Amino acid sequence: MFSKILIANRGEIAVRIIKTCRRMGIKTVVVHSEADADSMAVEMADEAVFIGGAPAAESYLVADKIVDAVRQTGAQAVHPGFGFLSENASFARRLAAEGIVFIGPNPKAIEAMGDKIESKKFAAKAGVSTVPGHVGEISDTKHAIQIAEEIGYPVMIKASAGGGGKGIRVAWSRKDVEEGFPAVRAEAKASFGDDRIFIEKFIESPRHVEIQVLGDKHGNVVHLFERECSIQRRNQKVVEEAPSPLLDEKTRRAMGEQAVALAKAVNYDSAGTVEFVAGQDRSFFFLEMNTRLQVEHPVTELITGVDLVEQMIRSAYGEKLPFAQKDLKINGWAMESRIYAEDPYRGFLPSIGRLVRYSPPAEGEGAAGTVVRNDAGVREGDEISMFYDPMISKLSTWGKTRNVAIDAMGRALEDFHIEGLGQNIPFLAAVMDQKRFRSGKLSTNYIKDEFPEGFQGLPPTDFQRDLIEAVAVYMQLLQASRAGRGEPREDWVVVAGLHRRQVRALLTPDGVLVRNGGRDLKLERVSWRPGQPQFRARFAGRDVTVTVKPAAEGFVIRHRATTLNVLVLSPRSAELHEKLPPKRAADTSKMVLSPMPGLVVSIDVAQGQEVKTGEIVAVLEAMKMQNILRAERDGTIKAVNVKGGDSVAADEVLVEFA
């Protein structure tokens, strides 16, 4: 077996590979950019080599620097992780020429299947059913419009070298192609160093189902069943699960056999994923093959017990697969939630900054035989950089059934606490609690269908209102008793949003008893003291965790996707509070604000210019994505406060209207 492996990647996947290498007794080297000098991966690896500036084009995408690092450290093999150079055939060939083993498929398989244009041609020759589209390079926007109109709208514009949801736009009209084609090309160039684009028919209400394959250098290929990745936002997967609630045994077998046949046709000899677009009627079409490890591989590992990173390493070393197809079985159900640095309350815009608090749920076996796993490459105090993907971690849970795995995920999300930047935990919790998600009736339009006006949290259920009010009462009584204000008051008015009710409350040895209109609500086994952001307790027979923080008045309390501002007042204070005038929000209607920290790519208006609603005002780049800002009103530009190339903060005023 290899004695030393270099990991040509960063973040959570670098940490993930290090963990398997440690278990196998293999020493590790990580390369790192300037931005990642103090990262968790650098801390964990046996050796670390600096390879350049923060932008990937100056570091992780430079093959020469990675080869130099291999020579310098004496590593025998390179694991590319995902993204960056993981699907670059010329990089794999370069390593081979240098006598270095590439832990991934052979270069011919990468070329045949890793390039989305070539893979479409190959699949068509092999008789695999594919989505209608233009297979070939597209020269410019005019050519793109012609192709889109021949196929018929809607179409999907995709980067040939794309992955991770980058370099994809759905175009519903000619105007969408005019704007989307250059944007996709720019994203493709920035993310992959390859600006080739292809266009295919966009199938409405589809499901995204993929098959994990694994091959060795002796002609053996197996599949490890499917993953459903239909919960997507901007073509970026958000929630994945294995197996899929859509498939029956017949479809699973057919899809698996097709994936294996395709892999065998290109002598595939590592871990890879054959992606399909599936109809609600279980029809399916080949979409593409990712010739690398997938981000969502943990759910497959949880239902099969196979360490995919270990099998990639063993295959690259020349070992035979230790199992045949008949040896593989699906055991239970697994869910994965991607924790992103983004603000779900502001259209999921990237949110960069420092992880002031980072407290994930405990990993390992939990209640009812469930399992919690958290794949992360960060620690408390780390910075989430604007230069890379905004994923903080991947939280996975396993249970004997789908509903048990979903319930375990809901509880794990409750226990996950992050401060310092926007994060999507409340949104993920909302999905887990939705009836439609629990029913398994999914599609890639799910987020758009269920949250058409964007995500603003969910209204409280009766259980949540009772819980949040009981927590607020406990905190108020505890503070009053610690302040030594004589006999504790029992009569209180709880104001939660627009909701008011009178209660009687009494502290107990381990919590509080709240009497509310003839009902006794018992909050017990409380684990909290003032200043802590998470409040753990048992309420109505359930273990719960809520997030709490003091507000200018009262408390802000969140349980899953529900947040309430709560005041606990004496009856007299409640009377006076009703007489206070409401606060007015600042008027920003004449301003275009930066929705996130980022880099100004272009300012498309000038002082004195007349602008119509919907016209492009500016383009911002953050987390490798380009974001188009449009005018929300007709008017004349009074001032332009920034220029192309400037770095801006969230809510910075870019342009002002007269």
**What is the rounded CA–CA span in Å between residue 493 and residue 385?**
45
Output the six-digit token pair for 626. Answer: 């380009």
Compute the half-sphere exposure of residue 416: CA atoms within 13 Å on the CB side of its CA.
31
Catalytic position from the list 200, 241, 288, 621: 288
Quick check: 654 and 594 in contact, CB under 8 A?
yes
Q: Which residues of 291-329 are buried (b: 16+ CB within 10 A; e: fewer)?
A: bbbbbbbbbbbbbbebbbbbbbbbbbeeeebeeeeeebe
* The 155-163 sheet, strands edge to edge: 133-134, 197-201, 155-163, 166-171
Q: Identify whether 288 is a catalytic site residue.
A: yes
Q: Token pair for residue 117? A: 């244009």
Residue of 109, 66, 60 lying closest to 87 (CA atoms): 109
As a whole number of angstroms, the distance between CA 78 and CA 316 comes to 10
Distance CA 492, CA 572 (A): 10
Query: What angle, 0 to 180 degrees and rounded to 10, lies between the N-to-C axes of helices 297-304 and 308-317?
Result: 90
The answer to whether 32 and 41 have CB atoms below 8 angstroms apart is yes
Q: What are phi and psi of 302, to 5 degrees?
A: -70, -30
Q: Which residues lie below 8 Å from residue 260, measured CB to CB, with a gap of 6+?
A: 213, 221, 222, 223, 325
d(CA 226, CA 210): 5
List residues bridging with 537 in a β-sheet: 544
End-to-end CA distance of the chain: 69
Q: 3-class SS at 64?
A: helix
Chain length of the chain: 658
Q: How far is Cα 495 from Cα 534, in angstroms, rounded to an integer?
A: 21
Distance CA 359, CA 452 (A): 31
Tokens of 222: 């197996």
Catalytic annotation, residues = 288
